[in-house]
Every structure is written in C-alpha cells, then in structure tokens.
Amino acid sequence: MSRNRKAYFPFIGPCDPCPPQRVVTYETPPQLYLGFQPPNLPQFDPCKALCLGTLWPALYAPYENPYKGGK
C-alpha cells in the first residue's frame, strides 16, 4: 500500500442485510501532507509535467486500483 492509501474497519452490525466489507480503503491527496512549498522543490520537465498533471514530483500520486491484483 502506498503512503496515500488509508484503511479503516467499519462497524458490522448483527442485522446487516448485505455481506460485510471488513476493510474499507481510500486515498488521500499528497498535498495534505505538504505544508508550505519548500524552496528549490524538484520539478518534472515541462513535457512530462503535462502528461502527469503536476509540475512537482512530491505532488504526483497515481491512482492505484485497490481491486487489481487479487484483492
């Protein structure tokens, strides 16, 4: 799991009509963990930045499918 993926364990009631989902995961964006922009932050080159959607590698977080790979 990446550092941006969090998990929690929901309450499972005795009368729930659906099969329980034991663990629920969600992603948080990396800008939550970056306070003010530090000076001299590394940057992608402009062409790569356009492809990835951000100029700074610290803010790049590709979406990882939690259901891919046998989960």
Report whether pLDDT(9) > 90.
Answer: yes
* Cα 52 to Cα 60: distance, rounded to the nearest angstrom: 7
Q: How many residues does the chain have?
A: 71
Cβ contact 7:28 at 8 Å:
no
Domain coordinates of the chain in residue numbers? 5-59
pLDDT score of 30:
83
Residue 7 DSSP class: E
* Cα 42 to Cα 14: distance, rounded to the nearest angstrom: 52
Give the global pTM. Answer: 0.58
